[in-house]
């Protein structure tokens, strides 16, 4: 809404009333006295009109400034309000989700650490048992290589040691089918614990220990403090934004109140200006009529019937004016009160 919306249509400025040619009759003297009254009223009306115009221009400019201030304040408030609705809400939801996830990660990390330690402990126990098995394999190897056990070796495997050759004339002993690979099985019982299992279990123990170390080094528990720091920073940010939103909302209310007051004052000032202009024009028209009376309804008595009043036509014209005013307002009222046709 611009200031021009308050500016009523002014009639064109009229020239100053001309001087009257005075005469010494009592009627003209009375008119002159009345004319002086309206001359003073016209001067006063001019001053009121000018003052009203200046007051309206000032209040119209004030209205424009208040409107700009209100629009800027409202826009600034909407920016902070949108930040509160989107950023603050998402930040709060993210912090709550992070807190839940970090707690779950810590629980899973603790469970995994305990399980890995259990695996490492079990592997260390396996290593102890494999070492014992290796020792027994070494004892078995020593037993095999002992010349005192050559006959037992022959009975078990059907074969003789290199330094204990049997009589060539002795026919070979046929072994039962399940015992044909006894020497190979015996060899595996010695070599697998000494050359395979003992190294495999060492690799497993080292790998398990490394995994436990990696899991410990990951330090999932540190996320708890990091999440708490993030949550505190997020809460501080949200508090600051919400405080700003509250302050800006109060600013919008104040700016709106000032704008409503400015609209009211500008409207009243515009009407006052229009009224002052109308009063000034009315005083001017009255004064002009008093200076140069022109009443066509009141003519000379010559040519009139003695019983016909001179002012009869004036009365009729006044009645017509009354009828026009009455009809105008009555018709306007009827338009507003028209019944609804269903």
Distance, in Å, from the CA atom of 258 to the CA atom of 265, rounded to the nearest integer, reads: 10
Are 177 and 325 found together in one domain? no
Q: Return all residues near 164 (Cβ < 8 A) that are at least 6 apart.
A: 147, 150
In this structure, is residue 16 part of a structural domain?
no
Q: Which segments in the chain show pLDDT lower than 70?
A: 1-28, 31, 158, 160-175, 292-312, 329-342
pLDDT value, residue 177: 72
pLDDT value, residue 170: 52
**What's 302's DSSP letter?**
T
In this structure, is residue 15 part of a structural domain?
no
Range of the domain at 73: 22-294
Are 169 and 317 found together in one domain? no
Are 281 and 324 found together in one domain? no
Distance, in Å, from the CA atom of 302 to the CA atom of 40, rounded to the nearest integer, reads: 37
Distance, in Å, from the CA atom of 197 to the CA atom of 270, rounded to the nearest integer, reads: 107
Are 232 and 276 found together in one domain? yes
Are 202 and 237 found together in one domain? yes
Backbone torsion region of residue 143, taken as left when φ is above 0, otherwise alpha when ψ lies between -120 and 50, otherwise beta: alpha
pTM across the whole model: 0.54
In this structure, is residue 10 part of a structural domain?
no
Its sign, for the CA torsion 22, 23, 24, 27, is: negative
Residues of the chain above pLDDT 70, percent: 75
Distance, in Å, from the CA atom of 245 to the CA atom of 251, rounded to the nearest integer, reads: 10
Distance, in Å, from the CA atom of 44 to the CA atom of 313, rounded to the nearest integer, reads: 34
* 236 and 88 Cβ atoms separated by less than 8 Å: no
* 191 and 206 Cβ atoms separated by less than 8 Å: no
Distance, in Å, from the CA atom of 17 to the CA atom of 252, rounded to the nearest integer, reads: 52
Are 318 and 236 found together in one domain? no
In this structure, is residue 339 part of a structural domain?
no
Are 104 and 197 found together in one domain? yes
Q: Count of domains in the chain?
A: 2
In this structure, is residue 95 part of a structural domain?
yes
In this structure, is residue 5 part of a structural domain?
no
Question: CA distances (Å), 1 to each of 241, 274, 342, in order?
Answer: 33, 19, 38
Are 324 and 249 found together in one domain? no
pLDDT value, residue 341: 41
In this structure, is residue 33 part of a structural domain?
yes
CATH number of the domain bearing residue 157: 1.10.287
Question: CA distances (Å), 297 to each of 6, 18, 34, 62, in order?
Answer: 40, 24, 21, 50
Collapse the DSSP code of 89 into the 3-class scheme (helix H, G, I; strand E, B; otherwise coil) and give the result: helix
pLDDT value, residue 293: 64
Length of the chain equals 342
Are 209 and 319 found together in one domain? no
Are 27 and 71 found together in one domain? yes
Are 117 and 264 found together in one domain? yes
Reading the block at residue 253, the tokens are 């209310």
Are 233 and 311 found together in one domain? no
In this structure, is residue 89 part of a structural domain?
yes
The residue whose two tokens read 């002009």 is 288
């Amino acid at each position: 809404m611009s200031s021009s919306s308050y500016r009523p249509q002014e009639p064109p400025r009229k020239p100053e009333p001309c001087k009257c040619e005075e005469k010494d009759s009592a009627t003209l003297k009375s008119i002159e006295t009345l004319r002086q009254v309206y001359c003073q009223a016209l001067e006063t009306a001019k001053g009121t009109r000018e003052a009203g115009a200046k007051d309206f221009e000032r209040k119209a400019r004030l209205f424009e400034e208040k409107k700009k201030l209100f629009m800027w304040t409202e826009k600034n408030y909407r920016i902070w309000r949108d930040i509160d609705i989107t950023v603050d809400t998402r930040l709060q939801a993210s912090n709550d989700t992070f807190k839940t996830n970090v707690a779950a990660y810590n629980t899973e990390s603790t469970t995994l650490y305990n399980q890995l330690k259990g695996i490492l402990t079990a592997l260390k126990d396996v290593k102890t048992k494999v070492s014992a098995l290796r020792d027994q394999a070494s004892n078995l190897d020593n037993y095999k290589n002992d010349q005192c056990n050559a006959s037992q070796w022959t009975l078990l495997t059907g074969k003789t040691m290199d330094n204990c050759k049997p009589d060539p004339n002795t026919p070979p002993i046929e072994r039962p089918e399940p015992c044909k690979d006894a020497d190979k099985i015996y060899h595996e019982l010695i070599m697998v614990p000494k050359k395979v299992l003992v190294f495999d279990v060492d690799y497993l123990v080292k790998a398990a220990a490394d995994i436990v170390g990696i899991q410990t080094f990951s330090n999932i528990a540190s996320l708890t403090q990091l999440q708490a720091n993030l949550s505190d920073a997020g809460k501080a940010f949200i508090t600051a934004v919400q405080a700003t939103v509250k302050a800006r909302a109060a600013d919008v209310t104040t700016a709106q109140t000032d704008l409503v007051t400015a609209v009211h004052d500008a409207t009243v000032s515009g009407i006052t200006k229009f009224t002052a202009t109308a009063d000034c024009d009315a005083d001017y028209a009255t004064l002009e009529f008093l200076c140069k009376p022109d009443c066509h309804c009141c003519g000379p008595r010559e040519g009139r019937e003695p019983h016909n009043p001179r002012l009869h036509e004036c009365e009729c014209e006044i009645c017509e004016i009354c009828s026009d005013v009455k009809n105008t307002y009555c018709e306007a009222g009827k338009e507003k009160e028209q019944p609804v046709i269903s």
